[in-house]
Amino acid sequence: MVLFPFSPRYGSDRNKPGELAFWSLFASSLVLILLGGCSNEEQIRRYKAPRMEERGDAAGKAAVRSAPEMPGPAMPKPAMPASPPQSVEGPRRTLGAIIPRESDAWFFRVTGHDERVADQRDAWLQFVQSLQFDGDQPQWQLPEGWQQEPGSGMRFATIVMDPEDPPLELSVIPLPMPRDGDVDAYVLANVNRWRGQLALPPMDAGQLAREAETVGLPDTEITLVDFGESP
């Protein structure tokens, strides 16, 4: 609101025509300036706040509408569970042979039900006595009824001694020889590893010497072990 300095000196009946025209023009101009300023300020306020929000919302909505749906990373399918190992009812028995060589030691082992393993003992001895090496790899002759299958992973070969379910399998695995060259300690440690898998106490070197059998080869010897769980 604008106040104009009216006084008896400026009354309408005393003012000259020029003064009245001047004050009318002055008042009109001032009102227009004030109104114009308010109008511009209001326009600027509308531009800087509402329109920027609208543009932001529109841009956001447009981005949402235009953004393609990107597929997420392919999740690997769960592997099919392996068949659980068939349990052996009754006491288990292990037949094993260890052949130390220059760079590798060769391990032959079968573990199964005591009676089934015992039935294969003669054939097992026949198999061991046929072992010989051509270079770094062993060769053998299979007893009647045995079947050889390709190896996988660490296994050089798998020999099925008895196909009856669960099959009685002889594994053939090469492992590096120790760097310190202590062959006797290496053989003993692996025999005790097998015994531990049957929850049997470890042997000492003297006990192994008394209970193990040996078969001579041209450049080494085979250590044979036969032990099992108590019935």
Length of the chain: 231
* 0.85 surpassed by pTM: no
Amino acid at 228: G
Least Cα distance to 124 among 40, 26, 213 occurs for 213
Query: How far is Cα 203 from Cα 96, in angstroms, rounded to an integer?
Result: 15
Write down the pLDDT at residue 50: 40
Query: How far is Cα 213 from Cα 211, in angstroms, rounded to an integer?
Result: 7
Least Cα distance to 156 among 139, 173, 169 occurs for 173
Measured CA distances, 13 to 9, 16, 27 (Å): 9, 8, 19
Q: What is the share, in percent, of the chain residues with pLDDT greater than 70?
A: 62
Please name the residue that has the structure tokens 């749906």: 69
Measured CA distances, 203 to 130, 183, 185, 212, 214 (Å): 28, 16, 11, 11, 17
> Which token pair is 225?
């072990």
Q: For the chain, what are the domain ranges? A: 8-65, 92-228
- Whether the bond between 166 and the residue before it is cis, its omega within 30 degrees of 0, is yes
The DSSP call for residue 90 is S
Amino acid at 222: I
4 CB burial (10 A radius; 0-12, 13-18, 19+): exposed
For the chain, 231 residues long, give each residue's pLDDT as a single digit of tens: 444 444 444 444 444 555 555 556 656 655 455 445 544 444 434 434 444 444 444 444 444 344 444 433 333 333 233 333 345 677 999 999 999 998 999 999 999 999 999 999 999 999 999 999 988 899 999 999 999 998 889 999 999 999 999 999 999 999 999 988 799 999 999 999 999 999 999 999 999 999 999 999 888 899 999 999 987
Write down the pLDDT at residue 226: 97
Which residues are 162's β-sheet partners?
Answer: 168
